[in-house]
Amino acid sequence: MFVYPLFYKFLHLPNILYAIWAGSSIHEVAQVVAAGFAAGEDAGQLATLVKLTRVLLVIPTAIILSFRLMKQNKDNKWNAKKITIPWFVFGFAIIVIINSLHVIPQNITVNLISLDSFLLTWAMVGMGLETSLAKMKQVGIKPFYVGLTTSIFISMFGFIMAKFLFF
């Protein structure tokens, strides 16, 4: 979120390339929004659209992987109890459909988004309260290196693919 805008500025990236790169390779929606809008309104809008498209793709991906897992287990009989889809995916899909149909008045939607931000903030606070330097020291430095390496790989791969596919 902090490094991408620096690359945008120093490499003089086109807005579209930057937005596709940020939206496709930054992990969290709020971070994509922050990094995208750091490059301007158009880049922010496109980066957010790319990220939300990725989020929507969780639904078919989860369904396909679930059926594939059932097939690997040689379980030819379909059973809803054996589906390993995270159930929040269906709630997410329902909310996307409701929001797309504009059934909920705009003023209520704005209030729900504010409530969402508030709840997300408290969830992050809760995670912070569970985290301590002593616990992190116990785990060691290897998970940090794995996360850093993975992030760099995803960032580089996302940039190469965005450049290759769109420029």
Q: Return the HEC string of 78-107.
A: CCHHHCCCCCHHHHHHHHHHHHHCCCCCHH
H or E segment at 45?
helix 41-56
Summarised one tens digit per residue, pLDDT across range 54-94 is 988 888 888 888 778 777 777 666 666 666 667 777 888 88
pLDDT of amino acid 80 = 63
pLDDT tier for residue 9 given thresholds of 50, 70 and 90: very high
Whether residue 22 contacts residue 49, with contact meaning beta carbons closer than 8 Å, is answered with no
Residue 4 vs residue 58, higher pLDDT: 4
Q: Looking at the chain, which runs of residues are DSSP E strands? A: none
**Full-model pTM:** 0.74
CB 21 within 8 A of CB 162: yes
